[in-house]
């Protein structure tokens, strides 16, 4: 979401005639887009701010804006901690940045929504719903990004058409809870939106991120099955394998509910790729509760698991009311155990790709080899004759937990949709 927000701001600045510099010291404006969803990302933002301070002290002459999740409704504390920052902007509050810099008149008051990001390759992110209404006890997002607000379907279509015109072949529709699209307006849902985008010529693929199990309806799953351009790939964060922990997290579903969604997907699309996010060391997590997470991973066999150690986010219910009582070394051990299991499962799932031919969208070339992704979102490195943006058939020769290796199939032709 932050990548998409940065691209949007860059598009607005571009429209005003600003250009990007290679070096911070050559810039007259620096915008630091921050994420505080985990402690580590917050520490990185703070460290980057420290570097900006030093540059300013050494005489660099730029205005500094901090944007994103680090900025809440009140910024007094941030102003006290970082007095050298010129402006703090909440996520997507682009207009405030232009006002603060005295550029508001130039924007014609219509920065959002008509400044579409310039494509930077064959794939692009497109936010379709902002904010989150779920208030999981550990999560800062609803406090920083506000309530769920769906964008107008026609405006999204216009943005995707603009991107496709600029060479984009694959769009990922974004939301913190992407299947909630349309719930706040009572308008078209995610399935309707994907259907509307499907007829854009030269758009080859549609993906969506991130799923919230409760909002995932059979109608949306059917749309994935029935619309050829929509990839059979689901990222559904389960966050924990124990119902007791899910309740402490206030995730709003149980493991049987989650299992039911996975079964529904697999009954409609047996080869769908399913990934998940999972937190270890949440408040009060016992050995037995952690073991339930491992058991769930063994049972579902996700294509990929994004594991994270719990860290309290100030301002959340968990930070205020629940004890962060799992010692750091235990959290590390549990994450390690999860990653070992994940690697074993991913390897065995990826090995099944060996000897098959996969449709790959070519994203670039590195060290003399092309790379791109399958419809199931597997990263593939391969040899052969092709070009960025083409959709080619690749024969998979080797697989590891992290990627597939192969060669373009002899009879592969560029697929122009």
Q: Does 141 bind ligand SF4 (CB under 6 A)?
A: yes
Closer CB to ligand SF4, 134 or 375, in the complex? 134
Closer CB to ligand SF4, 241 or 389, in the complex? 241
For 117, which DSSP code? P
- Total residues at the site for ligand SF4 (CB under 6 A)? 10
Closer CB to ligand SF4, 8 or 145, in the complex? 145
Tokens of 386: 């092709």
Binding residue (CB under 6 A) for ligand SF4 from 25, 50, 118, 135? 135
Q: Does 132 bind ligand SF4 (CB under 6 A)?
A: yes
Q: Does 27 bind ligand SF4 (CB under 6 A)?
A: no
Closer CB to ligand SF4, 147 or 369, in the complex? 147
| CA–CA gap between residue 160 and residue 173 (Å, rounded) | 10
User: Is the distance from CB of 333 to CB of 294 less than 8 angstroms?
Assistant: no
CB of 177 to ligand SF4, least distance (A): 5
Q: Does 223 bind ligand SF4 (CB under 6 A)?
A: no
> In this structure, which long-range contacts are made by residues 372-378, counting pairs with CB atoms below 8 Å and at least 24 apart in sequence?
374/404, 375/205, 375/231, 375/232, 375/233, 376/231, 376/232, 376/233, 376/271, 376/272, 376/273, 376/303, 377/207, 377/231, 377/233, 377/273, 377/275, 377/303, 378/273, 378/303, 378/350, 378/353, 378/403, 378/404
Binding residue (CB under 6 A) for ligand SF4 from 136, 309, 349, 412? 136
Q: Interface with ligand SF4 by CB under 6 A: which range of 41-49, 138-146, 280-288, 339-347?
A: 138-146
- The residues in 187-216 that bind ligand SF4, with binding defined as CB under 6 A, are 212
C-alpha closest to that of 204 among 265, 123, 126, 117: 123
Q: Does 139 bind ligand SF4 (CB under 6 A)?
A: yes
Closer CB to ligand SF4, 211 or 386, in the complex? 211
Spatial strand order in the sheet of 304-309: 233-235, 273-280, 304-309
**Residues of this chain that bind ligand SF4 (CB under 6 A):** 132, 134-136, 139, 141-142, 176-177, 212
């Amino acid at each position: 979401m932050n990548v998409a927000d940065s691209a949007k701001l860059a598009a607005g600045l571009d429209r005003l005639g600003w250009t990007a510099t290679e070096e911070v010291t050559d810039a007259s404006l620096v915008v630091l887009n921050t994420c505080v969803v985990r402690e580590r990302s917050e520490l990185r933002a703070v460290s980057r701010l420290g570097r900006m301070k030093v540059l300013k002290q050494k005489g660099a002459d730029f205005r500094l804006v901090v944007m994103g999740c680090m900025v809440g409704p009140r910024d007094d504390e941030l102003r006290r901690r970082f007095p050298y920052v010129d402006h703090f902007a909440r996520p997507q509050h682009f207009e405030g940045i232009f006002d603060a810099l005295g550029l508001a008149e130039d924007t014609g008051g219509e920065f959002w929504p008509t400044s579409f990001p310039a494509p930077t390759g064959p794939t692009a992110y497109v936010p379709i719903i902002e904010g989150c209404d779920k208030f999981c006890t550990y999560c800062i997002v609803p406090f920083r990004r506000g309530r769920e607000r769906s964008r107008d379907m026609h405006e999204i279509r216009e943005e995707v058409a603009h991107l496709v015109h600029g060479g984009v072949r694959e769009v990922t529709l974004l939301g913190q809870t992407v299947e909630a699209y349309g719930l706040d307006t009572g308008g078209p849902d995610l399935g309707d939106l994907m259907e509307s985008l499907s007829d854009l010529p030269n758009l080859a693929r549609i993906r969506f991120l991130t799923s919230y199990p409760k909002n995932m309806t059979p109608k949306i799953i059917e749309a994935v099955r029935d619309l050829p351009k929509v990839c059979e790939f689901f990222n559904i964060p389960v966050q924990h394998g124990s119902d007791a922990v899910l309740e402490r997290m206030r995730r709003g579903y149980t493991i049987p509910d989650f299992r039911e969604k996975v079964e529904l997907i697999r009954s409609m699309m047996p080869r769908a790729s399913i990934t998940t996010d999972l937190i270890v060391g949440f408040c009060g997590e016992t050995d037995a509760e952690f073991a339930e997470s491992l058991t769930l991973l063994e049972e579902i066999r996700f294509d990929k698991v994004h594991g994270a150690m719990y860290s309290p986010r100030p301002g959340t219910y968990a930070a205020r009311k629940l004890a962060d009582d799992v010692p750091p070394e235990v959290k590390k051990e549990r994450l390690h155990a999860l990653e070992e299991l994940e690697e074993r499962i991913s390897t065995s799932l990826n090995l099944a790709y060996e000897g098959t031919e996969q449709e790959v969208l070519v994203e670039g070339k590195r060290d003399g080899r092309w790379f791109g992704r399958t419809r199931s979102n597997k990263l593939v490195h391969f040899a052969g004759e092709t070009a960025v943006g083409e959709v080619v058939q690749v024969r998979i020769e080797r697989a590891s937990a992290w990627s597939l290796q192969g060669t373009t199939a002899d009879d592969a032709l560029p697929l122009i949709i």
